[in-house]
Structure 1
Amino acid sequence: MKKYLTIFLTLIASIILVFVFDNRTVEAATPNGVNYSISPELPSNQISKNIGYYDLKVTPGQSETIKFKINNTDTKEHSYKVSVNRAATDINGVIDYNDHGIAPDSDLQYNIEKLVTYPKEVTVAANSSKEVSIKLDAPKGDFSGELLGGIFVQENNQINNDKKLPKGVTLRNQYNYVLGLQLQQNTDAVKPDLKFVKVFETDNNGQISVDGEMDNDVPTLENKVSVDAKVTAQNSSKIILKSDKKAMSMAPNSDFYYPVNVNTVTGPSKNKRLKPGKYTMYLSVKANNGKNHWNLKRNFVVTKKQMAKINHKNPDRAMDLWIILGAILALVVIAGFVIKHYRKNSR
């Protein structure tokens, strides 16, 4: 009898453990030392002299060459990728210079990526520095506000792709430097303008969110941005989802996808979902120390097809408890038959 009871309890424990523990693990690879740096050589048309990036006043059609140094402090030669990237806004409200060739905003007058010529790769000998030149051709026409980008520098072959990572490690670290590059013809203020483009539900590695796409469609950097977001069912005042965040920024002529989380990646709210239906997102946005304020509103729809797609990638595990209880009940029934059979045969 004791033997059967032990087997029974072991089976129950095994089923519970299968559902309680998620086999997916995320670990970060151990960082390697950074063995290079970059330093700007600020030109005479630098507006702000006490900053470490390029803030240049240009005239229509002006051509100039700006320079910076890559300093290799390693004991061996390295090559470096160089690119000039237009400023974007990431989902955290942080100015991002890491990507090149992103589709431009429809209101963008001049693309800073098209105004520069430079070497795409630079090799620097061990324990030495090399000067890199970027030819800048300012727009021939007038413009207001700022053209904002960044000079992106990254050492090549930081990662040995042939080297097998430890089991469970999926993240490899790479390091880069960015020198800001801002062009202005004047310092006249540009009237801010923010548009609420669309709302949609999306998911990223288990995080389901409703994203509100805002468009900063003027060539000016919006600072100290705060967003207070709410989601309700259409024609209802009951708040279903909400989010607020402060101290953000929006790059000139860029889109900002502000996320309002539906679920949590782990924990009791992991299986939370929006039901298919019609909803409204409200955004209260302030910028520049509250000087500018927008109250924005957009309706959106969550369809059964969209939910099926999201649930396929992120299965709703809300039924797991019932599955566990059902399995335990089945085992109890089986165990009852086994015990009954054992007692009958032992008489």
Structure 2
Amino acid sequence: MNRKLEKYNKLLLTLLGILCFFSIPSNAQAKESGISVQAMLPENQIIKDAGYYDLKVTPGQEQTLNFKVFNRSKQVETVNVSINPAYTSENGSFLYTQDASQKDESMEFSLSDIAQTDKVVSIPAESEVILPIKLSIPKDPFKGLILGAIRVTNADIDTEEKKNNQQEGFSINNKLAYSVAIQLREEENMPKSNLILKKVTASQIAGKNVVKAQLQNPTPTIIDDVCYESSVTKKNNDAVLHKQEVENYRVAPNTSYSFPISWDNQPFKAGEYSLHLKVKSIKNQEEWVFDQDFTISSEEAKQLNTSAVDLEKDYSIYIIYGSIVICVLLIILICLIKYFKKKKQTKKMEFKKKNHERKNDVKRNKKKSKPKSKPSC
């Protein structure tokens, strides 16, 4: 028996090895891409060994940056090029996939308005091209940072990213996206950063119930090494219902974003709640504390719970109804027991009474049937 089992295990391992042998090369080939990029750093680069542009500029300055795009494949490749401002994603990183149409109200200058380049570029096979990026710095001085990126993608990558909700640098059907940051500043000293809590709402991420704290960084500064400590309670109650703690997040300049607090796969319940949020930047040595009440309406709760996935079922109502039914049954049972007990006692009393009456009747009958004694002489 052991020998047969050993042979079966060897056969299974051999089949798995053959399967891995044929599957690994195909996956690796699907992830290969002939496109790569490189930032050619100019003289006014502040951090000399950076892989991105960090430039010291002056008001009204005109400058052309050189940006290399490589094609190592054996066919002509066509790429899309866009220059987008930096946004803050919900997972605490910089996002360069959106254009300036949704820029924050606090953003005075967008990189999209300052930097211009060709939107479509063809690179010959096994070759490279130098793409000019033309900068036109505003004549009015600005404080802090203007941050964005040059974004290079294969054809249709943006459409697929929106459908699949993918992040930068991940391959999608042999298509890659590259983002190289451009950071502009006129002064070394940065303004003091700030955070504002705008509102708190019930929402969802990938079908999961969450509460989102809508935050805004209205300052032209990067807030680095950010830690969040959050908890949700019922209004005017200290008992914590849900909490979320994360660290090593980043906040881009002049952006509004949301910080999600997981609802732990539980359904929303209508009511009034309070969010308690502490945000701390380890690097900037700054801290913000927020306490804000919010309401989840019955309509919101019903709509979000209907579309939510993997919800833990709430059995509390069934427990309540079950307890009521059990209590009613117990009361009925007790009443029945008392009723039958009383009925039994009544029958017993009646039986004793009848038995006593019968004995009395017997005695009376004996007295009546006893013959009278004759008078003595």
TM-score under structure 1 length normalisation: 0.75
Shift of the alpha carbon at 1:172?
4.9
- The CA deviation string for residues 38-63 of structure 1, in whole angstroms up to 9 with x for no partner, is 01111111111111110011111111
Residue 203 of structure 1 is matched in structure 2 by 204
Shift of the alpha carbon at 1:88?
0.6
Distance 2:174 2:242 in 1: 34
Cα 1:248/1:102, change in 2 over 3 Å: farther
DSSP-derived class of the 1:61 partner: coil
Task: Summarize the alignment of residues 60-209 of structure 1 with structure 2, pairs less than 5 Å apart.
Answer: 60-156=59-155, 172=173, 174-209=175-210
Say which is worse superposed, 238-247 or 95-104, in terms of deviation: 95-104
Distance 1:228 1:319 in 2: 27
Distance 1:237 1:158 in 2: 47
Distance 1:174 1:39 in 2: 18
Q: In the alignment, does 2:281 pair up with 1:280?
A: no
Higher RCO, 1 or 2 (CA under 8 Å, sep at least 6)? 1
- For the 8 Å contact 1:196–1:297, the answer to whether it is kept is no
Distance 2:223 2:282 in 1: 6
Cα 1:210/1:173, change in 2 over 3 Å: farther
Q: In the alignment, does 2:251 pair up with 1:250?
A: yes
Residue 285 of structure 2 is matched in structure 1 by 291
- For the 8 Å contact 2:203–2:304, the answer to whether it is kept is yes
Q: Which runs of 5+ in 2 are unaligned?
A: 1-25, 161-171, 319-377
Shift of the alpha carbon at 1:206?
2.0
Distance 1:78 1:303 in 2: 52
Distance 1:288 1:139 in 2: 33
- The CA deviation string for residues 93-114 of structure 1, in whole angstroms up to 9 with x for no partner, is 1111122234121111111111
Question: Which amino acid in structure 2 is aligned with residue 303 of structure 1?
Answer: S
Shift of the alpha carbon at 1:174?
3.6
- For the 8 Å contact 1:82–1:151, the answer to whether it is kept is yes
- The CA deviation string for residues 253-291 of structure 1, in whole angstroms up to 9 with x for no partner, is 012311111134xxxxxxx12310011111111014361
DSSP-derived class of the 2:301 partner: helix
Distance 2:41 2:202 in 1: 45
Shift of the alpha carbon at 1:116?
1.7
Find 2:296's aligned residue among 299, 302, 323. 302
Q: Which runs of 5+ in 1 are unaligned?
A: 1-28, 162-170, 265-271, 323-347
- For the 8 Å contact 2:88–2:255, the answer to whether it is kept is yes
Distance 1:141 1:307 in 2: 49
- For the 8 Å contact 2:33–2:174, the answer to whether it is kept is no
Residue 16 of structure 1 is matched in structure 2 by none
Distance 1:196 1:137 in 2: 34
DSSP-derived class of the 1:113 partner: helix
Query: Larger C-alpha radius of gyration, 1 or 2?
Result: 2
Distance 2:138 2:113 in 1: 10
- For the 8 Å contact 2:69–2:130, the answer to whether it is kept is yes
Bigger share in strand: 1
Cα 1:122/1:210, change in 2 over 3 Å: same
Cα 1:146/1:114, change in 2 over 3 Å: same
Distance 1:55 1:311 in 2: 46
Shift of the alpha carbon at 1:147?
0.3
Distance 1:319 1:257 in 2: 28
Between the two proteins, what is the percent identity of the paired residues?
28
Cα 1:275/1:56, change in 2 over 3 Å: same
- The CA deviation string for residues 31-86 of structure 1, in whole angstroms up to 9 with x for no partner, is 43121100111111111111111001111111111111110000100100000110
Question: Which amino acid in structure 1 is aligned with residue 127 of structure 2?
Answer: S
Shift of the alpha carbon at 1:186?
0.6
Shift of the alpha carbon at 1:319?
7.6
DSSP-derived class of the 1:307 partner: helix
DSSP-derived class of the 1:310 partner: helix
Regions of 4+ moved over 6 Å: none
Q: CA RMSD in A?
A: 2.2
Cα 1:110/1:158, change in 2 over 3 Å: closer
- For the 8 Å contact 1:222–1:288, the answer to whether it is kept is no
- For the 8 Å contact 1:93–1:256, the answer to whether it is kept is no
Distance 1:157 1:251 in 2: 27
Cα 1:117/1:73, change in 2 over 3 Å: same
Shift of the alpha carbon at 1:173?
6.4
DSSP-derived class of the 1:305 partner: helix
TM-score under structure 2 length normalisation: 0.69
Residue 32 of structure 1 is matched in structure 2 by 31
